[in-house]
Structure formats: C-alpha cells, structure tokens
Structure 1
Amino acid sequence: MSAKRQEGSRLKDAEQGQVNLRLDVPHSARVYDCILGGKDNYQPDREAAKAMMAEWPALPIHMQANRYFMNRVGHYLAAKEGIRQFLDIGTGLPTEPNLHEVVQRVDPASRIVYVDNDPIVLTHARALLASSDEGMTNYVDADMRDPESIITAPEFTETLDLDRPVALTVIAMVHFLLDEDDAYGIINRLLEPLCPGSFLAMSIGTADFAPDEVHRVAREYEARGMPMRLRNRAEAERFFDGMDLVEPGVTQVHHWHPHPNAVGTVNDADIAMYGGVARKR
C-alpha cells in the first residue's frame, strides 16, 4: 500500500474513533519515528525531520543510540535486576522493538504500562501492544506534565502491583519539560508510589557535546511548537538524587553498558543524550 493510502486508512480509522490526530502540525514522537525510518508519521513530521537533520546530520545516529540505550536498559533491568513491572513514559511507539518486546523475551510474564499523549499511538495502541499470553501491557492516554492522571489511572493501578518493584522508564522525554513544568517534581511524583527496590531509568537531552548543532536543532523544534530544555551533566544527575546509581552512573547513552561490538563505533560529538539507571532506596 502506498504511503498516501496508508495515511488515508489511518485517518479513516481515527475519524471513526473520533480521535483528532492533528495531522497539520508535527508531533515529537512522530518526528522521532520519521528520523528512525519509521512509517507512522505525516508530512509536517517529515518536513520537521528534514529541517532538523539539515542542521545536524548526526541526528539519526543520536536517536538510534538513544533507542539502543532503551533496549539495553530494559534487558538489564529484566535480566540482571529481576524487574517484572515497567511504567514507560513517552513510549516511542510504534518504533520497534518496544519495551514490552524486550523485557518479555526475558520473562513473558512481565507487565508494562505505557503512557503517551500522541493520538496516533492511542489509535493504534491495541494492535501495537500485543503482549505475551503470560504477561500484560496496558496504555494510559495522559500527558506526563500531569503525573496524578497517570498514577491514579485504572490502567496503572490494575496492571502493576505496587507492593513489588517497578521500573519507571523515561526515555528522551524530559527535554520537552521546561523549567516552569518542574521536571524534577514530576519525576519524583511518579516515583512516589513505587516501593523501595524500584528503578528509575532516564535519558536526558544535553548540548554539552555538540552545542552549536544541538541548539540549532532545538530552535527547529521550538519553531514548530515543541520548545526544549536541554540540561548539563549536573542537571541530569539531579534527577537521580537520593537514589543508588547503577554503574557507570550518568553518562552519554552509548557509554552505558555498551554492547562489546559497539565500543568505539560512535563519536561522542554525535550523541546529545545523558543516560542513567538508579535504584530507589
């Protein structure tokens, strides 16, 4: 099916479900999908992606490294730390592999709650979140700026057992939270109902390594209604205050538990994301 017919089909499905996809403006998740070579994006998303890659040709490398980080984090938490419950904020759906696919390969009984406010993800969530028979996936349609709407949602409370550890994963999201949004307060509120032994895994946008290029990309985002707040290392580390960081601490995402075959293959200047994983005391 042609891209145009696919878009028409998705739009028809969305109209039947009375979901406003807002195809006239780019959405950060769909721009991300486009840059990674996905198919669930539209002309405004593609135009935005093209403009951003013109400003920083390494952007696809950066975004792919962030996706690989998510995969490694999910596998580490499931395989090494025994985590079987996950709360994933800003899912990156439908770009594969998704978190539930990574962790259910370790244990098919794993449970995952996804959170996003992208109407396209909402429209396709049921098909995209095909869980194993033993486990469960669920979806909360919410904006992370309102953490109460997440932790009180029945999809959250009925899927996750809060007496057992949960991994809160916030991948490539907090750079869309401005100072007035209180990003640190939001993360702390999402962690609050999770029991000791739970984990926080994050990747955090930065301009520390390619400031000119990354700031130009940020201006392209802002021009399209998606302002960003990039953070330095100290600001990134602050998200994990009061928690026990997993080695090697907060580092560029491609340096966090890299696959042996990937060591030395990525230029630090091509990565604009810190990453870290920490255990709640």
Structure 2
Amino acid sequence: MDATDDLSARIDTTVAHPARRYNYWLGGRDHFAADRASGDAIAFAMPGVKLMAVENRAFMARAVRYLAQQGIRQFLDIGTGIPAPNNTHEVAQSVDPATRVVYVDNDPIVPTRACALLASEPGGVNAYIDADVREPRSVLDHPDLRATLDLSRPVGLLLVAVLHFIREDEDPQAIIDALTGALAPGSFIVASHATWEYLPAEAIAALIANNRDGRFQPRTAARFAELLSRCSPVPPGMVSVAHWRADDVPGPRPSAEDVACHGLVARIG
C-alpha cells in the first residue's frame, strides 16, 4: 500500500471532520454527507457561521500579508485545512517569492489535495506535515519542518480556527507554550477563536447537542486572551476577525455578534 492508499484508508466519510465542514461552509467541494449534515445543523443554530468562515479566511490573509510586510519570511500554518483561495504561501510569496511555509493538518483528505499547497513560487519552499497540534513535539521535531524552516530565525505561527478544537482537559496553554517557546524572538502568532458568548441560550443548547463528543470548545474573549497573554498583541489587539485591519476592505463590515470569532496577531518574545 502506497502513501496515497494509506491516506485514503484513513478517511472516514461517516464522521464529520472540522476541515471538511469548514470547506463546506466556504463553498468548496471536499466534503461528505456527514460534514454537510453537521455543518447545516450548526448553521441552523448559528446562522452566521458561514459568514464567520469567510471572514476568518479573509482575516488570515490580511494577517499573513501584514507579517510578510514586517519581514517575516517563514510561516508554520497548523490546522491549515483543505486548500482554498489565498493559501498562506500564496499570500506570503506574493510579497517575497522566497518565503518558506510548512503546513500541518491531521485530516487525511488534506494531503490528497496537497498539490495546491506545495506549488511554491520559484525560490520559495513549501512542505506539508501530517500531524496533530495536540502533540506539538510531533510538529516541531518533524524532519520536514527542520529541513524547511530555520527556527533560530523569526517565524509566523498560524493557529487560525484551531484552538477551539483543543479541549481544556488537553491543556491548550501547554500546547501554545510549547509551540511559541520553540520559536525565535521576533516571531509572531496569528490566532482566531470562535465564541458562543453572543448567542442566545436556545442556540447554545442546540450547538451543545450537535457537539456530542465535546471536541468543539467555545471560549470567551477573556479566556482566549488569557491563553495568549504571554505574547504581545499588535494593534488593534484582539477584535472580531471581521474588523482586524479591515479598514480597506470594501463595503460595510459585519458586526462582531454576527461573526462571533475573535482574532489577533501578537509578537512572541
């Protein structure tokens, strides 16, 4: 069995997966009936969730461009998801084609689409690692990461729409500290986190019913800020992903209540 066959054998189409559900909300094609059913159930209770997915993706692109403009030439994108327009390397390498990017995800469908992630600009380097953020050493010690990134130099760490899949009993603080502690001073973290704090009680009850395995862990802005309190936010600090450095985005911005996802960019060290 070759690597592609092994990945295909790991794809369970009967169980919803966050990466495929997110792809469904973004209007992609890489999802199955279970992902669509779960996505629709969440959208019924939280009608703004598709808007959240779109705005979160746009936040990531603005944040990556900002870091590239600050001179960051290495990115570690954990929980990258299924390729979509404006992947990290596309944005960063539009600023400097020599930028190096490592993508990490644990959904076996992602590497089957990896050609879109690995198509680097000439002079740049992209790599993909099949690993889980809940095991940060499996990411940091991976030979493909070490061959692609120089951790003695600044890195842009992306944890975009990832932390809300780490339960409190899995010690998210230790995971964040392990990742940020491995990076050189002058590195940055880009993070976003969904919240239920704006939702009515009946919507929260419906979302809890759809979250039977407890994998999704909503957090308030205060708890999200606490997890990243050892980093130094850059202006405008923690705001809705729809509002982070979005002054030049055409059209009116949706409200924080409609998007219900916090985002920030912060300096490490």
- Moved segments of 4+, more than 4 Å: none
Structure 1 counterpart of 2:163, which letter? V
Whole-Å separation in 1 of the counterparts to 2:49 and 2:202: 9
Residue pairs, 1:1-281, within 5 angstroms: 14-15=4-5, 19-79=9-69, 81-212=70-201, 215-216=204-205, 218-219=207-208, 221-223=210-212, 225=213, 227-262=215-250, 264-281=252-269
Contact 1:112 1:136 in 2 (8 A): yes
Q: 1:211 to 1:198 in 2, by over 3 A?
A: farther
Structure 1 residue 227: Cα displacement: 2.3
Structure 1 residue 14: Cα displacement: 4.7
Q: Deviations over 1:27-82 (max 9, x none)?
A: 11100000110001111111111222222222111111111110110110001x11
TM score, norm. by length of structure 1: 0.89
Structure 1 residue 221: Cα displacement: 4.4
Equivalent residue pairs, number: 267
Structure 2 counterpart of 1:168, which letter? L
Contact 2:30 2:82 in 1 (8 A): no
Whole-Å separation in 1 of the counterparts to 2:206 and 2:79: 20
Q: Deviations over 1:229-272 (max 9, x none)?
A: 11112211123223221011111111210142446431222112
Contact 1:90 1:170 in 2 (8 A): yes
Whole-Å separation in 2 of the counterparts to 1:246 and 1:181: 28
SS of residue matched to 2:262: strand
Structure 2 gaps of 5+ residues are none
Contact 1:86 1:111 in 2 (8 A): yes
Contact 2:160 2:193 in 1 (8 A): yes
Q: 1:221 to 1:167 in 2, by over 3 A?
A: farther
Q: Deviations over 1:81-140 (max 9, x none)?
A: 110000011002222221111111111101111110000002222454211121011011
Contact 2:193 2:224 in 1 (8 A): yes
The RMSD of aligned alpha carbons is 1.9
Contact 2:102 2:126 in 1 (8 A): yes
Q: 1:122 to 1:208 in 2, by over 3 A?
A: same
Structure 1 gaps of 5+ residues are 1-12
Structure 2 counterpart of 1:26, which letter? A
TM score, norm. by length of structure 2: 0.92
Whole-Å separation in 1 of the counterparts to 2:161 and 2:102: 17
Structure 1 residue 157: Cα displacement: 0.8
SS of residue matched to 2:101: strand
